[in-house]
Chain A
């Protein structure tokens, strides 16, 4: 009897602790990884802004208004207006959509080929692996932005093409990480056991290897996300990315910002601050995620 009570109170306390637990765990995370928490908040802010852009922005990001040109920030236009009378704040808000879309789009587009090439390369080895590894070497030797510009020149500037150009080299270079992880696992006993039981290659790769390389995959995606956002901004800044009048933070900095940088410096502040905060936040979030998921990779950047 006494024993039963002890168990039941134990349970009750367990439930209680679980409720308090979430806030407690959250606080523990915030106090232990303040940058990571800040990064998570920034990433969340980006996602929310992108999803609710039409609610947050009071103006059409593309609507020009000749009566309110180059207005400084004020009550009506929170971040001022540009040379066509477009509301800068609304353009910033819709720019978040572009950034998020590019980040997510390129991450997912690069993911599947990266995984497939990586696993196959490690699994089959031999000539196939040798050729793939030389391709990875070649792609990694060319500085990212130069390769991107070269691809964009041939593809032509548009949102979809930016995503393709970002994903292509990424799929190739990320396959090396997947390959490394697969190599470790394909020597393990449960893979040998699966093979002894008569599982074919496809089954081993999908059922036994893939689930075990999920952590490096998440880490690669989270670190790539910030790089993609930054690369899109750089491309658009140089004029090879998303073409005006579509709002992209990098494009806003160069097309609007540079032309009027002395007369209307607020055209620079908005996109510069938004871009820096988001890249910082996403990177910090990725770092924290990496520490939690894959301690071996700590400090590799």
Chain B
């Protein structure tokens, strides 16, 4: 197990190197002069000295291998460079903002699991009943509704119908739990709704499959209550695909936070990215992409390793 984990961790290094290469070369390979792009919109007169300074900070005055090498070296020390305009450390900024995105993502996962697992199980147990069809239609609709349409509706509808609006002043949970939750819950709800739709579909399919297994029939014929059979024997075995799905959807969840954070004025990673783009602060954009990518890779590994705990029959080699 430990050896397997270590091997998987080592295998992440080449992938990480490729990702850093993509991120570094984005500033180089794509058409258009990145420095001109960055300096358009700045009010000051663009002097050759400014260009030289920007190009030095971006590492564009060096050769690509040298720029790449230095970036890799920095990242391996946890240094993602500094903001172009105010010189603050990108790593610190990302870590500061991560708590907000993390909170929303955690609440979203909680919401989705609480909604979808009971719905998926009910749908499977009452297969092909009107209830099943209703729940399935709802979950398909949930997958199809674009995040930003739902988010927009949550912003607009209360104001149209009840003349109230969500207070768009983020406070951390420790500062003011009530205000924190009034913003975090709707944002997490938007992301969680979509997630719960896919989990419910997955849950239904898996439960249908499991409920036909021999050990379920054995459990039933032992005279156990149907609740015990469904929860203890069925549900427990249906959770592994859900964990996999959660791991796979984490990337979509962070992607979705770009939309919700911009609509609900949440100061998270997504907002950091959008603000950095407005300011053309390239080191921050690179830093966000790298840290999100790294986080997704680590969680995927954690998901793979968790199978062993969830199902002792699974062994790693």
B289 interface neighbour in A142, A254, A262, Cβ under 8 Å: A142
Closest Cβ–Cβ distance, residue A140 to chain B (whole Å): 8
A residues bordering B, Cβ < 8 Å? 35, 131, 134-135, 137-147, 149-151, 153-156, 230, 233-234, 237-238, 240, 250, 253-254, 257-258, 261-262, 265, 268, 272, 275-276, 279-280, 283-284, 299, 301
Assess A154 versus B26: contact at CB under 8 Å? Given A137-B15, A142-B289. Answer: yes
Q: List 26 A-B contacts (CB under 8 A).
A: A35-B137, A134-B18, A137-B15, A138-B19, A138-B293, A139-B22, A142-B289, A142-B296, A143-B255, A146-B273, A149-B277, A150-B26, A153-B277, A234-B259, A237-B148, A238-B259, A238-B262, A250-B148, A253-B152, A261-B155, A262-B156, A265-B160, A275-B149, A280-B144, A283-B140, A301-B198
Closest B residue, CB atoms, query A226: B144
Interface size on B, residues (CB 8 A): 56
Closest Cβ–Cβ distance, residue B196 to chain A (whole Å): 14
B residues bordering A, Cβ < 8 Å? 14-19, 22, 26-27, 30-32, 34, 37, 137, 140-141, 143-149, 152-153, 155-156, 159-160, 198, 201-202, 205, 251-252, 254-256, 258-259, 262, 270, 273-274, 277, 280, 285, 288-289, 292-294, 296-297, 300
A153 to B202, CA, bound (A): 36
Closest B residue, CB atoms, query A275: B146
Q: Is there contact, CB below 8 Å, between A262 and B149?
A: no
Give the one of A137, A143, A254, A284 with max B CB within 10 A.
Answer: A143
Q: Is there contact, CB below 8 Å, between A134 and B14?
A: yes
Closest B residue, CB atoms, query A277: B144
B292 interface neighbour in A146, A151, A153, A154, Cβ under 8 Å: A146
A146 interface neighbour in B18, B288, B294, B297, Cβ under 8 Å: B288
Q: Is there contact, CB below 8 Å, between B293 and A141?
A: yes
CB contacts (< 8 Å) of B277 on chain A: these are 149, 153, 240
Closest A residue, CB atoms, query B295: A141
Closest Cβ–Cβ distance, residue B266 to chain A (whole Å): 15
| Interface residue SS majority, chain B | helix
Closest B residue, CB atoms, query A298: B205
CB contacts (< 8 Å) of A142 on chain B: these are 19, 251, 289, 292-293, 296
Q: Is there contact, CB below 8 Å, between B289 and A154?
A: no
Q: Is there contact, CB below 8 Å, between A283 and B252?
A: no
A123 to B288, CA, bound (A): 36
A283 to B143, CA, bound (A): 9
CB contacts (< 8 Å) of B153 on chain A: these are 272
4 additional contacts (CB under 8 A) given A233-B146, A238-B259: A141-B15, A154-B27, A233-B148, A262-B160
Q: Is there contact, CB below 8 Å, between B30 and A145?
A: no
A152 to B220, CA, bound (A): 57
A154 interface neighbour in B30, B137, B198, B288, Cβ under 8 Å: B30
Q: Is there contact, CB below 8 Å, between A146 and B149?
A: no
CB contacts (< 8 Å) of A301 on chain B: these are 198, 201
Q: Is there contact, CB below 8 Å, between B255 and A144?
A: yes
